[in-house]
Amino acid sequence: MNRRAVIAGAGSATFLALAGCVFVDGTVEADRGDIAVVVDGEPIDLSADRFQSENVENDSIKFHLHENTDDWFMEGEEPVTFAEGIDLLPHFAYAQRDGDHVVTVDGTTYDGSESGTELTFLVDDDPVDPTEYVVDDGDELRLDITTDADASDE
């Protein structure tokens, strides 16, 4: 489903809504920045249709992705934390259990309490507590997930 719709035209300015984001004269009127999710050294292809707001029914304008860009977008009155942002993405979930981070990606759960599993949340290459860090315009977000899966394959 492609949910692009023209909202209004006023003078020379054109307004376009793209699954929640408002574009004015080709410029996005939303906070945005880069995002990467890497599992055992392999980046998740966040440009895949299943993650893009244009192609899902359960998208959120609070934090979302769009096709043709590697950026995250955030709109609304209240900014979200890094953890909330991950939880709002289609096919992702975030939880915290007994102080440990737990992230599910495409049905696979990575639990930081399990031996050999580590989840590291980075903003501009600095580690952060994702439940405390409030995402800001221009942030480069990265979630690194490492497991001992490679060691068990040897």
DSSP states along 87-135: HHSTTEEEEEETTEEEEEETTEEEETTSTT-EEEEEETTEE--TTTPBP
> How would you classify the pairing of strands 4-10 and 13-18?
antiparallel
Model confidence at 10, pLDDT cuts 50, 70, 90, reads very low
Model confidence at 47, pLDDT cuts 50, 70, 90, reads confident
Pair of tokens at residue 92: 């992702």
For residue 115, tell me if it sits in a domain: yes
For residue 132, tell me if it sits in a domain: yes
- Are 134 and 141 spatial neighbours (Cβ–Cβ below 8 Å)? no
Mean pLDDT, range 116-126, rounded to an integer: 97
Range of the domain at 43: 31-152
Pair of tokens at residue 150: 């490679």
Place of tokens 């096919």: 91
Structural domain count of the chain: 1
pLDDT value for 93:
96
Residues facing 18 on adjacent strands: 4, 21
For residue 22, tell me if it sits in a domain: no
Q: Which of 9-13, 88-92, 98-102 has the highest mean pLDDT?
A: 98-102
For residue 3, tell me if it sits in a domain: no
For residue 26, tell me if it sits in a domain: no
Asked if the model's pLDDT at residue 55 lies above 90, the reply is no
- Positive or negative, the Cα torsion across 19, 21, 22, 27? negative
For residue 91, tell me if it sits in a domain: yes
Give residue 45's Cα distance to chain centre. 12
Q: What is the pTM of this model?
A: 0.78
Model confidence at 60, pLDDT cuts 50, 70, 90, reads low
Pair of tokens at residue 16: 């376009």
Q: Which amino acid is at 85?
A: G
Pair of tokens at residue 23: 């574009």
For residue 16, tell me if it sits in a domain: no
Model confidence at 67, pLDDT cuts 50, 70, 90, reads confident
Pair of tokens at residue 84: 């909330």
The CATH number that applies at residue 115 is 2.170.130.30
